[in-house]
Amino acid sequence: MIRYVLGRLTSLIVSLIVASIVIFAVIEVIPGDPAAFMLGVNARPDTIAALRAEMGLDQPLITRYLAWVTGLLQGDFGQSWTYKTPVADLINDRIWVSLPLAVYALILSTLIAFPAGIYAASRRGDAGDVTIMGATQLGVAIPNFWFAMILVLIFAINLRWFSAGGFPGWGDPLQAIKALTLPAIALALPQAAILARVMRSSLLDMLGEDFIRTARAKGLSRRQALWRHAVRNALIPVLTIIGLQFSFLLAGGIIIEQVFFLPGLGRLIFQSISARDLIVVESVVMLLVFTVIVVNFLVDLAYAAVDPRLRTKA
């Protein structure tokens, strides 16, 4: 196990280093001068020169990369050009929208997918299974931002149960959760469709295993065998998918935030892109990539803890 953890840890660190280089490089390869890019076409040369110095662009590439990474490690994400505040503060304001949204969506997705997948597997081939599988086909094919618009049309504009967008802040937690409900449903449903399919097929694999036959031979009913033995074992592959989904939900949130005008990291990225505030874009993207890579790492560890066979395979 220790060897496995060390191996994973090494690849985690390598991934993070490569990720930071890639992101830094993408920002660097912008044709022309980032300072000129940020200031737009009408900037005076002396303004550009001043910004270049302020951004440290007169330093060599390696120095700048190292300064950026050391800053990140110390929680210093640099200074936003447009907001004139530390990027860390901007992120801190918005992460409390994006993160709860992703977690909320993950919970919803799991709550929908588990019963649906288990039900479909236990009724394999009958009308209930066919209906659920048909619904998951639709769920996989729906663009989530379109689904979000439909939700707004029905529940905000016609029924007036929810507001069509915006976020009241966490002062009143109930209102905050309410504001995140439609976005979370829009994010969760397509992911729930995938998860339900994985749950079903994993469960069907398990139901064909010898230990289920043994359990049945021992006198357990189909239902008892399913719940006591199959579901637990089927959860292992499902766990990985849930881990992967977290990254989809976090990234997918970027678009859903646009639909609902939520002041999260996604909107921060877009506002920074249109304001050409590259330092913010760079740091927020790095933060998202960092979160995703670390979550995947944790899932790998959890996976190995549950299923010892994997420790040797990797």
- Tell me which residues touch another protein (CB under 8 A): 11, 14-15, 18-19, 23, 26-27, 29-30, 137-138, 140-143, 145-146, 149-150, 152-153, 157, 194, 197, 244, 247-248, 250-252, 254-255, 258-259, 269-270, 273, 281, 285, 288-289, 292-293, 296
Angle between helix 87-122 and 127-141 (nearest 10):
160
Of the pair 94, 197, the CB lying nearest another protein is at 197
Q: Under a CB-based contact definition with an 8 Å cutoff, are residues 270 and 94 in contact?
A: no
- For 191, the 3-state DSSP assignment is helix
In the complex, minimum distance from the CB of residue 219 to another protein, in angstroms, rounded to a whole number: 34
Of the pair 140, 177, the CB lying nearest another protein is at 140
Of the pair 112, 284, the CB lying nearest another protein is at 284
In the complex, minimum distance from the CB of residue 214 to another protein, in angstroms, rounded to a whole number: 27
Of the pair 152, 206, the CB lying nearest another protein is at 152
In the complex, minimum distance from the CB of residue 56 to another protein, in angstroms, rounded to a whole number: 19
Got the DSSP string for 151-189?
HIIIIIIIS-SS-SS----TTSHHHHHHHHHHHHHHHHH
In the complex, minimum distance from the CB of residue 105 to another protein, in angstroms, rounded to a whole number: 15
HSE-CB for 312 with a 13 A CA cutoff? 2
Q: What's the token pair of residue 31?
A: 């044709």
Of the pair 23, 48, the CB lying nearest another protein is at 23
Q: Torsion-angle region of residue 86: left (phi > 0), alpha (psi -120 to 50) or beta?
A: beta
CB atoms within 10 A of CB 259: 21
In the complex, minimum distance from the CB of residue 46 to another protein, in angstroms, rounded to a whole number: 26
CA–CA separation, 301 vs 307, rounded Å? Answer: 10
